[in-house]
Amino acid sequence: MSTPFYITTAIDYANGEPHHGHAYEKLGADAIARYMRQAGRQVHFLTGLDEHGQKVAQTAEARGVPPQAFVDEIADAFQRMWGRLEISYDQFIRTTDAAHKRGVKALIERIHARNPDDFYEQTYEGWYCVGCELFKRDNEIENGHCVLHPTRELQWTQERNWFFRLTKYADFLRALLTENPTFLRPESRRNEMLALLDLGLEDLSITRSRLAWAIPFPLVSSGGETQGTWVWFDALPNYLTATGFPDAGFESRWPAQLHVVGKDITRLHTIVWPAMLQAAGLPVPQQVWAHGFVLLGGERFSKSSGVRLDLGEAMDRYGVDALRYFLLREVPFDGDGNFSWERFDDRYTSDLANAFGNLASRVISMVEKYFDGEVPAAARTVVDDADFADLADFHAAMDGTRGYLPHEALAAVWRTVARANEFVQSAAPWALAKDPARRAELASVMASLVRQLARQTVCVAPFMPAKAEELWTQLGAPAAGRARAADVRFDELASLDPTAWRVTKGAPLFPRPA
């Protein structure tokens, strides 16, 4: 039986249309999920939308529509966008779902039953960022504004709320981060959280007075008021409620193997969320991967700061798979990276049109010309051996050995693409074809090149799923009983034999720009 792999993304906040920042995270998680399926894991891929909170209520009011109608519209926009980007999620959760609301209530009641002193009432005052839905510390404020939302005005807020005793869990959290160093990666993010613990934690205000657009907090205040649950105390449990919690059987999926989140919400996912789970007596997720940002001209994509790029325009430029490739190859998944149209054009032309696309076109054309379209039989060569050394790096970059690094995985595959192009030039099949005495040598060269293409197609399937299947069809694999490239398991690559496949040259995979 295959090993489960429950992977989640952060659920996006429902106050605007999806942008490149959202897309980058979903594409990275999608590549990991698709990779794990081909590695034989039993994958469940969760994404969704965070639909409550003051910011959503304010945006809906500004548009003159009820909050539920507003978030319904936003949810539809996100799901349509993820469909177009080929995000292969298994479940899309919304925090307005009845099952989620029930699960949040059950989690809070479970914490209260096990640790009744973890919730207490207190009057709190401080600067509140509606963009973050968080009270901000002094070191998170610059020139009177939140460092993450510099265009928003901070609000001085004073309320009597329910608090969660986060400080109680400082020792538990330090042990989690030090004794299990792979819980949070990359290493730089773990160091940041340890430094945060060194500064000292503060208890969290987890309800908001007079906030109607929220899940009602199940504990009634001493003044008889039912307050709204703070949006993060509502949002973080989505990973748990998506398993069916609190109903029987949720343990079959929980804990999650991997949370994929942005670096700006690392604290919430590796300090607040584990503390909530510990308070409830539930296991923490096995690992959190905190990626960096896609920047435009050195600035983060953000609705509030006005740094935006039209996703539709980017997809239309060269197609969805080309955009998927560019973002996952160009932007390191363990740091920040820049988007520019110039780099997009360069990557498309050099990596996709000239290197990979041209290789596929030349090899298929030569098999058609020299062997009537049927891949000849030939033994493995030193070229195959060299490729497998690079593919070991490919797997190490995607299977969790060194983290989750799609940019490094693609770089490894493209080393095999470069090797294949060099082999075409050095072996010169067109010259071999002129000498009948060298027919066996020609067959060896062409069989080796098709094997390389077949392996490359299988390996790029998590990153460019549609183009991979398009090339797989041109290679003749479906007719030979290998229905889809994405169905080939990675442990089959060493024995993958395209002998007798009938190739058919189709339209260029990546047409050169006019």
pLDDT score at 134: 65
- By three-state DSSP, how is residue 294 classified? strand
The pTM (predicted TM-score) of the whole model is: 0.93
Q: If you classify domain 341-495 with CATH, what class do you get?
A: mainly alpha
**Distance (Å, rounded) from C-alpha 471 to C-alpha 485?**
9
| pLDDT given for residue 157 in this prediction | 73
| HSE-CB for 331 with a 13 A CA cutoff | 28
What does the pLDDT read at residue 300? 65
- CA atoms of 348 and 467, how far apart (whole Å): 13
Quick check: helix, strand or coil at residue 502?
Answer: strand
Tokens 């990779």 appear where? 35
Beta bridge partners of 262: 291
The pLDDT of residue 136 is 66
Which are the contacts of 37, defined by CB distance < 8 A and separation ≥ 6? 43, 486
Q: What pLDDT does residue 135 have?
A: 67
DSSP characters for 457-494? HHHHTTTSHHHHHHHHHHTTTGGGT---GGGS-GGGGG
Residue located via tokens 């981060």: 177
Which two structure tokens, joined as six digits, stand for 39? 């590695």
Q: Map 408-436 to HEC letters.
A: HHHHHHHHHHHHHHHHHHHHCHHHHCCCH
Strand partners, 228: 208, 216
Residue 262 has φ and ψ, to the nearest 5°, of -80, 155
Angstrom distance (rounded) from CA 340 to CA 338? 6
- pLDDT of amino acid 303: 52
Count of C-beta atoms within a 10 Å radius of residue 315: 18
Alpha carbon distances (Å) from 227 to 28, 163, 196, 473, 485: 37, 12, 29, 58, 52
Could you identify the residue written with the tokens 């905190």? 290
Where do we find the tokens 């959503």? 56
Give the pLDDT confidence of 275-284 residue by residue, as tens digits. 999 999 999 9
The residue among 307, 262, 22 whose CA lies nearest residue 150 is 307
Domain locations in the chain as residue ranges:
4-309, 341-495
Tokens of 295: 């920047």
Spatial contact of 254 and 244, defined as CB atoms under 8 Å apart: no
In sequence order, which residues have a C-beta less than 8 Å from that of residue 361 and are 6 or more positions away? 505, 508, 509
Low-confidence ranges of the chain (pLDDT < 50): none
Write the class of the CATH domain 4-309. alpha beta
The answer to whether the beta carbons of residues 475 and 364 sit under 8 Å apart is yes
Handedness of CA 435, 440, 443, 448 (dihedral sign): negative
Distance CA 334, CA 352 (A): 24
Torsional sign, CA 83, 87, 89, 91:
negative
Q: Quote the CA–CA distance of 311 and 23 in Å, as a whole number.
A: 8
Q: How many CA atoms lie within 13 A of 366 on its CB side?
A: 25
- Measured distance CA(30)–CA(26) in Å, rounded: 6
Other CB atoms closer than 10 Å to residue 470's CB: what's the count? 18
